[in-house]
Amino acid sequence: MSLEAPLGGLTDLIEEWTSEPVLASETVFSGLIFDVRRDRVDLGEGGVVTRDYIEHPGAVAVLALRDVEQVPCVLLIRQYRHASGGYVWELPAGLLDVAEEPSRDAAARELAEEVDLVADEWHVLADDITSPGAFPETVRVFLARGLTAVPDAETHQRTAEELTIRPLWVPLDDAVEAALLGRISNSATLVGLLSAEAARTRGWSTLRPPDAPWPARELQASRRPSVG
């Protein structure tokens, strides 16, 4: 059947962010960061089904880029992630857990808190949904350039896992190569690195403004008021 599917193109690749009718909904688990929700959903021809999914506030990640000896370099951080059981290489990132805070401001806050940097040029690289079937965490990956250091008196006092963050400037080419070799596994980092490489080959013409529409997050925000 798939071999007989029609041939499409760029104009066909538009996602439709319209939720199907929810007949009943309940929170079956409440956690420190996320909750688990159970919905009864009317799929029309597909019938009425029950689906569990994780409610999450969303997140931002920052690909900080600067030239080191005329070589474009990205800042990666090595951080312990207990749920995954290992030390992984990531982009600076954090939750959208401040009410009404614009995503760019959240990204700037995380960049300052995790790696003591300020950027004066911001663009959207890509938007990522971690696992749309069960974990609809929406992550916006920003490109940050024009970097300067946070003044010493204003540096963030890091704790817990953030206390042992190890920052490392890596040529963008090497970081992309590491991603392709399987040495980097964090999804937002993979999305950011590969998007940056693709954007660079296009002369950065695909970059979006920092306040570009984010329909997936807008839908998630509209679904948060519980039904039933």
Active-site residue flag, 162: yes
Q: Residue written as tokens 């306040």?
A: 211
Provide the β-strand partners of residue 170.
Answer: 74
What is the DSSP annotation of the chain? -GGGSPP--GGG------PPPEEEEEEEEE-SS-EEEEEEEE-GGG-EEEEEEEE---EEEEEEEEEETTEEEEEEEEEEETTTTEEEEE-SEEE--STT--HHHHHHHHHHHHH-EEEEEEEEEEEEEEETTTEEEEEEEEEEEEEEEPPGGG-----GGGGG-EEEEEEHHHHHHHHHTTS---HHHHHHHHHHHHHHHTTTTT-B-TT---HHHHHHHHH-SPP-
Provide the β-strand partners of residue 119.
Answer: 147
Q: Which of 26, 162, 197, 218 is catalytic?
A: 162
Exposed/middle/buried for residue 125 (C-beta within 10 Å: 0-12, 13-18, 19+): buried
Catalytic residue numbers? 162
